[in-house]
Structure 1
């Protein structure tokens, strides 16, 4: 059945330019803020943190979106939903890498995505430290932006097929330490990959994949707000994204956590990466029988 065109659709060129400008403005705010004392506090019992910088950057972006497109929904990392719309919704991660900022590690980015009926059509990632921005528009490619707003085509550099890959790992804050699937996946990756990066800033890992700096990303029940921008950026740069079992990945925002798990990498090696992660199912029963060391038992 044909879907009737949405007459209220925003001009994606305008939305693209707007999102790049908003992400950069938030990045300037963050860069100024991290020069001073950063006060972090626990957001919930998962160990995730929030700072006043998260809230200020989010407010800046959300206020701009609501002023420009008041009819659109906005789903923000810290503030929740604003006027949710089922057709057009902006996803805002104002500071991806809060835990890094809290310990003085300069590895954090700003992420913005625009979704149509849940699927991303526009994604922007801005690195305030490097002063660089990466973006993608569905069907139009991925871009890297310098000091100006002009985007230049980004296509991942093809790396030689490695004997042992360099991979990034990400998991959601709600994943428990005793989750046997997560533990089995980590065992397989740690014993097979040349290096496994845990950046505490998933969007930064997606940028590295889109540029061709790393060989893949494995995500287990990742957070929902930052995922669409990263997936779109990698896909438009020529990368493949699959579900953990090798099936089609559902990129729609709002999917249950167990359907957000993924493996991503170059098309020529994605099957090998899928085979790698599916091997975890064979060792999971053994992992399940092992009891993780409790931090309390060692006096932490």
Structure 2
């Protein structure tokens, strides 16, 4: 168990909750995979050109029905439906029924489905399912992560060849981050200069699963969306990745964190210090250009 993140004492059977969550995610994945190559009904969600499709809504409806039926006393926060169910039961499900909607809308099948169960404000169970590859990963706080074949999922002991000096990183940002954001732009630029490759997949859960598997070496997030953060962060942490806030302080992906406090660095343990120094250098340069208040 990670001593810095003591596990809450849930009053639910996490084995049963995990089974329900995995089956719901996989059923939604079957639905998505069967329909994603056909015509989609697409509409804009906001002025930033974020979209929602009929697939988002169909997958969400399926997942909400299953979670609501199995856990009627639990609150559910889902990307499209918002908050559903009890508000004072102590347990909250976070549901991203289609992470990567904008990708699917342009015919690029990079997407995932994510569910997390939180006891109080802290995630205790996370599930990430990739419908295209039909692979599912899950994690329970303090009990480790599990891969598609049911075996323990752990980061490889060493980075892949050629990556010790040129790590492959992923960048995650929230929908409200503009193209000229005063923090995002220089931070991304410095990560690109000091790394081997910086991926922006527009499907954060896919990036989290890649980190947990060791396919990439780290992730930096700036004002990430809440709905897909706990499931992915728990999966990566239980697989052996380490997480810190952008300023190097402790990081816990609580559902109570406001967007401005959700920024993070997640990486292989031996890379964490380097990434934090890079982020610190970028943030220091940004702060140096801001006139002191009088």
Pairing of 1:1-300 with structure 2 (within 5 A) = 9-86=11-88, 87-146=90-149, 151-160=150-159, 162-284=164-286
Contact 2:22 2:136 in 1 (8 A): yes
CA deviations over 1:227-278 (Å, ceiling 9, x no partner): 0000000010011010001100121113110110000001122111111111
Counterparts of 2:31 and 2:262 in 1: how far apart (Å)? 31
Task: Give the TM-score normalised by the residue count of structure 2.
Answer: 0.91
Q: Deviations over 1:151-174 (max 9, x none)?
A: 211111133461121100010001
Please say if residues 20 and 70 of structure 2, whose CA atoms lie closer than 8 Å, have aligned partners that are also in contact. no
- CA gap of 1:106–1:266, structure 2 versus 1, over 3 A, is same
Q: Cα deviation per residue 1:53-78 (whole Å; 9 max; x = unaligned)?
A: 00010010001111111100000010
Aligned length: 280
Please, which moves more after superposition, 187-196 or 159-168? 159-168
The answer as to whether partners of 1:180 and 1:288 remain within 8 angstroms in 2 is: no
- Distance in 1 (CA, whole Å) between partners of 2:200 and 2:154 is 24
Once residues 146 and 136 of structure 2 are traced to their aligned partners in structure 1, the CA distance between those partners, rounded to angstroms, is 8
The DSSP-based 3-state class of the residue aligned with 2:198 is strand
- Partners of 1:99 and 1:200 within 8 A in 2: yes
Counterpart-to-counterpart distance in 1, 2:284 and 2:140: 39
List gaps (5 residues or longer) in structure 2: 1-7
**8 Å contact from structure 2 (residues 208, 235) kept in 1:** yes
Q: Mean alpha-carbon deviation: is it higher for 101-110 or for 38-47?
A: 38-47
Tell me the TM-score normalised to structure 1 length: 0.89
Quote the Cα distance in structure 2 between the aligned partners of 1:287 and 1:48: 31
| Cα root mean square deviation, aligned | 1.7
Q: Distance in 2 between matches of 1:275 and 1:238?
A: 20
Please state how far the C-alpha of 1:191 moved relative to its aligned partner. Answer: 1.2
Contact 1:184/1:280, CA 8 A, preserved across alignment: yes
Cα deviation, residue 287, structure 1: 7.7
Aligned to 1:292: none
Aligned equivalent of 1:293: none
Equivalent pair of 1:250/1:259 in contact (CA under 8 Å): no
Partner SS for 2:92: strand
